[in-house]
């Protein structure tokens, strides 16, 4: 006890009171908001668990804007029609404002965490419009003067839309879309602007490092603002929120390309829900901590480059223990509220990168896998036709769960590439409406092997499930494609004929190639992903991590 008293007295002299060691450590660390004072606001989320003094001190020490994680979502504010319950949200907002934080509102309209009475089947279009507008106006008006900006609409665009030039056709088939139609987007923005003319109005979405999805959002905002150039003195949509739920395999070049795209709209851009997955089971190795830090550093160097166009960068979670992705350790603080290497990477990206130069060089020495495609034109239904081709082992896992895996063999002729994939340990489940969550094989092709961080006209993704149902990215890749499947117990075989689209195939040509196996669970959700070379998880939009095939004749 005496030792504890002495320590407290020492602490009181150094930090103004008998603070805990965690508080002392936190106060000694340079503030993130001060480090970025000349760049953009630094934000984080706040919820009921963050209301205690220690967690709130971390929030206010390092951040100057807060987003309510859940309290302001539709189901919590108006679970019953006409009955608005603002108690919890007011508590979050009022405490933030009293502690000197700005507040960003999240969210007025979303296809999730919204009560069914608003837009479910059986609700007329007229009633759905009234429900949407009334909710947006009432909520925005209630928080007027306390909330500086809103995620007016969240996640309205479908993942990887095939024709992003048509943004209406790219909209998610959500209850709001089904009840009202594509114009629900403008309806909710106009309602919010009417209720609070001073707040900045954002469209917010995830996976906007995907060029196709980013293009659809770009076209939506461009079209709406061109048709609504002066709504209370400015275009209807003030900003685009790039959520930023990333991993250490996210390519910063794709993030930068999307930033540039949205900046060209003359709107504000914010990174609204940033976290970087790098861990399993709530634990990280020392190498994973450094890898995660380098990913944060690379991202913040991009953000700093475009700082004059960025309103804020908001982290999605104070610490790993309270994160929605806690198993993947995605935040800057561990579950004991101690700063991780990621914190110092954000604090000074260049310094952190320089200090870990040897780690980077060691990591970059990893060689890209190479194999051969052997000359020959096979019968798709005869596996023996591939006997001369070497086996490509599809057994490196992107996920902690190790499920279905297998091998691939590749042949070629002047017109086509032929792939035979044999899959083992599969559930044979295609119940999920998302094709990538069904038991299936995916082939990624980069014909000119340029390994770009985005898809060019020579790049394509081909997916075939065990029941021989195919999907393509882009959709034009379906032309001339053929496939055949055979199932035996918990194994299946897929053979594919993939036409060359941009190159003249000849001996010695190198093409970018990868093969992936999606393993579904018995419940119909994807639980494992095995791949040959590219462990980034981004092969569907980025060819830089693909392996290499050499076309040979034997």
Residues 93, 104 contacting (CB under 8 angstroms): no
Domain with CATH 3.20.20.80 in the chain: 31-361
* Residues linked to residue 245 through DSSP beta bridges, in sequence order: 275
Confirm whether 25 is a catalytic residue: no
Please tell me which residue in 23, 69, 151, 155 is annotated as part of the active site: 155
What are 478-496's pLDDT values in tens digits? 999 999 999 999 999 999 9
> How does DSSP classify residue 340?
P
Instruction: Quickly state the pLDDT bin for 22 (edges 50, 70, 90).
Output: very low
pLDDT at 49: 67
Distance separating alpha carbons of residues 163 and 181, to the nearest angstrom: 18
Say if pTM beats, i.e. exceeds, 0.95. no
pLDDT at 495: 98
Per residue, what are the HEC states of 288-322? HHHHHHHHHHHHHHHHHHCHHHEEEEEECCCCHHH
pLDDT at 19: 35
Residues 408, 515 contacting (CB under 8 angstroms): yes
Q: Calculate mean pLDDT across residues 5-27.
A: 37
Distance separating alpha carbons of residues 114 and 137, to the nearest angstrom: 16
Please tell me which residue in 50, 69, 205, 534 is annotated as part of the active site: 205
Distance separating alpha carbons of residues 550 and 456, to the nearest angstrom: 20
Residues 485, 467 contacting (CB under 8 angstroms): yes
Here the tokens at position 26 are 């936190």
pLDDT at 477 over 80: yes
Distance separating alpha carbons of residues 95 and 135, to the nearest angstrom: 24
Please tell me which residue in 50, 209, 273, 447 is annotated as part of the active site: 273
Domain with CATH 2.60.40.1190 in the chain: 370-552
Region of poorest pLDDT, from 40-54, 142-156, 440-454 = 40-54
What are 126-151's pLDDT values in tens digits? 999 999 999 999 999 999 999 999 99
Which is more confident, 397 or 63?
63
* CATH classification for the domain delimited by 31-361, as one of 3.40.50.300, 3.40.630.30, 3.20.20.80, 2.60.40.1150: 3.20.20.80
Here the tokens at position 264 are 């060209």
pLDDT at 91 over 80: yes
Residue by residue, DSSP assigns 402-419 as: ---EEEEEEEE-SSEEEE
Q: 34-50 burial by CB neighbour count: b if 16+ within 10 A, else e?
A: eebeebbbbbbbbbeeb
Determine the 3-state secondary structure of 356 from DSSP: coil
Chain length of the chain:
554
Region of poorest pLDDT, from 16-20, 87-91, 194-198, 483-487 = 16-20
Q: Calculate mean pLDDT across residues 504-513.
A: 96
> How does DSSP classify residue 158?
P
pLDDT at 5 over 60: no
pLDDT at 164 over 70: yes
* CATH classification for the domain delimited by 370-552, as one of 2.60.40.1190, 3.40.50.360, 3.20.20.100, 3.40.50.300: 2.60.40.1190
pLDDT at 498 over 50: yes
Alpha-carbon distances of 311 from 42, 97, 338, rounded to whole Å: 9, 18, 27
pLDDT at 205: 97
End-to-end CA distance of the chain: 81
Instruction: Quickly state the pLDDT bin for 513 (edges 50, 70, 90).
Output: very high
pLDDT at 260 over 90: yes
Q: Of 241, 272, 263, nearest to 65 (Cα)?
A: 272
What are 398-434's pLDDT values in tens digits? 776 789 999 999 999 999 999 999 999 999 999 998 8
Distance separating alpha carbons of residues 500 and 418, to the nearest angstrom: 10
> How does DSSP classify residue 81?
T
Confirm whether 205 is a catalytic residue: yes
pLDDT at 162: 80
Q: Quote the distance between the C-alpha of residue 233 and its chain's center.
A: 33
What are 338-386's pLDDT values in tens digits? 999 999 999 999 999 999 999 888 877 667 899 999 999 999 999 999 9
Q: Calculate mean pLDDT across residues 34-62.
A: 89
Distance separating alpha carbons of residues 196 and 183, to the nearest angstrom: 20
pLDDT at 28: 58
Distance separating alpha carbons of residues 270 and 281, to the nearest angstrom: 30
Q: Calculate mean pLDDT across residues 158-176.
A: 91
- The stretches of 382-529 forming alpha helices (DSSP H) are none
Distance separating alpha carbons of residues 164 and 170, to the nearest angstrom: 6
**Long-range contacts at 144-148 (CB < 8 A, ≥ 24 apart):** 144/195, 144/196, 144/198, 144/199, 146/93, 146/94, 146/97, 146/103, 147/93, 147/103, 147/104, 147/105, 147/196, 147/199, 148/65, 148/102, 148/103, 148/104, 148/199, 148/200
pLDDT at 1: 36
pLDDT at 10 over 60: no
Instruction: Quickly state the pLDDT bin for 203 (edges 50, 70, 90).
Output: very high
The mean pLDDT of the chain is 91
Q: Of 399, 400, 409, 491, nearest to 436 (Cα)?
A: 399
Q: 531-543 burial by CB neighbour count: b if 16+ within 10 A, else e?
A: bbbbbbbbbbbbb
Per the listing, tokens 């990477």 go with 345
What are 275-325's pLDDT values in tens digits? 999 988 899 999 999 999 999 999 999 999 999 999 999 999 999 999 999
Residue by residue, DSSP assigns 9-74 as: HHHHHHHSS---HHHHHHHHSPPHHHHTTTT-EEEEEE-GGG-SHHHHHHHHHH-SEEEESSTTSH
Q: Is 397 exposed, middle or buried (0-12, 13-18, 19+ CB in 10 A)?
A: middle
Q: Of 518, 433, 428, nearest to 159 (Cα)?
A: 433
Distance separating alpha carbons of residues 107 and 473, to the nearest angstrom: 31
- Containing 372, the helix (H) or strand (E) segment is strand 370-375
Distance separating alpha carbons of residues 458 and 160, to the nearest angstrom: 18
Confirm whether 155 is a catalytic residue: yes
Percent of the chain residues past pLDDT 70, beyond the cut: 94
Please name the residues in contact with 531: beta carbons below 8 A apart, sequence gap of 6 or more. Answer: 394, 396, 397, 398, 514, 515, 516, 517, 539
pLDDT at 501 over 60: yes
pLDDT at 220 over 50: yes
């Amino acid at each position: 006890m005496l030792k504890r008293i002495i320590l407290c007295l020492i602490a009181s002299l150094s930090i103004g009171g008998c603070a805990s060691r965690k508080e002392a450590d936190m106060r000694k660390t340079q503030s993130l908001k001060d480090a970025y004072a000349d760049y953009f606001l630094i934000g984080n989320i706040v919820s009921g668990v963050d209301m205690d003094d220690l967690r709130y001190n971390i929030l206010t020490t390092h951040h100057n804007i807060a987003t309510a994680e859940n309290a302001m979502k539709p189901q919590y504010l108006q679970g019953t029609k006409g009955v608005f319950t603002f108690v919890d949200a007011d508590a979050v907002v009022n405490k933030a404002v009293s502690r000197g934080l700005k507040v960003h509102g999240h969210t007025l309209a979303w296809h999730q965490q919204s009560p069914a009475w608003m837009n479910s089947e059986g609700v007329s279009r007229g009633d759905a419009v009234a429900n949407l507008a009334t909710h947006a106006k009432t909520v925005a008006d209630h928080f007027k003067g306390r909330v500086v900006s809103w995620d007016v609409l969240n996640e309205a665009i479908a993942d990887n839309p095939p024709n992003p030039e048509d943004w209406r056709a790219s909209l998610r088939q959500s209850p709001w879309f089904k009840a009202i139609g594509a114009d629900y987007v403008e309806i909710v923005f106009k309602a919010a602007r009417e209720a609070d003319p001073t707040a900045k109005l954002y469209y917010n979405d995830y996976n906007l490092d995907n060029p196709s999805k980013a293009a659809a959002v770009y076209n939506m905002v461009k079209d709406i603002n061109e048709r609504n150039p002066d709504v209370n003195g400015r275009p209807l949509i003030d900003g685009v929120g790039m959520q930023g739920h990333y991993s250490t395999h996210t390519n910063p070049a794709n993030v930068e390309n999307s930033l540039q795209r949205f900046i060209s709209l003359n709107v504000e851009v914010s990174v609204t829900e940033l976290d970087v997955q790098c861990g399993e089971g709530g634990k990280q190795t020392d190498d994973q901590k450094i890898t995660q830090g380098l990913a944060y550093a690379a991202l913040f160097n991009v953000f700093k480059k475009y700082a004059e166009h960025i309103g804020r960068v908001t982290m999605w979670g104070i610490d790993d223990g309270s994160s929605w992705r806690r198993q993947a350790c995605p935040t800057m603080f561990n579950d004991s509220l101690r700063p991780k290497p990621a914190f110092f990477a954000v604090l000074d990206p260049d310094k952190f990168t320089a200090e870990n130069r040897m780690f980077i060089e060691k990591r970059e020495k990893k060689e890209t896998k190479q194999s051969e495609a052997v000359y020959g034109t096979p019968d798709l239904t005869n596996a023996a036709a591939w006997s001369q081709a070497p086996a490509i082992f599809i057994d490196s896992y992107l996920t902690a769960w190790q499920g279905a895996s297998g091998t691939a063999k590749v042949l070629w002729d002047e017109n086509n590439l032929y792939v035979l994939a044999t899959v083992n340990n599969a559930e044979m489940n295609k119940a999920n409406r998302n094709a990538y969550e069904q038991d299936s094989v995916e082939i990624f092709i980069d014909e000119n092997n340029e390994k770009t961080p985005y898809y060019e006209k020579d790049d394509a993704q081909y997916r075939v499930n065990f029941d021989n149902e195919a999907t393509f990215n882009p959709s034009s890749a379906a032309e001339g494609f053929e496939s055949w499947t055979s199932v035996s117990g918990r194994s299946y075989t897929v053979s594919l004929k993939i036409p060359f689209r941009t190159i003249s195939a000849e001996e010695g040509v190198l093409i970018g190639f990868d093969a992936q196996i999606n393993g579904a669970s018995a419940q119909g959700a994807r639980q494992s992903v095995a791949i040959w070379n590219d462990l980034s998880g981004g092969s569907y939009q980025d060819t830089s991590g693909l392996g290499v095939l050499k076309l040979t004749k034997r």
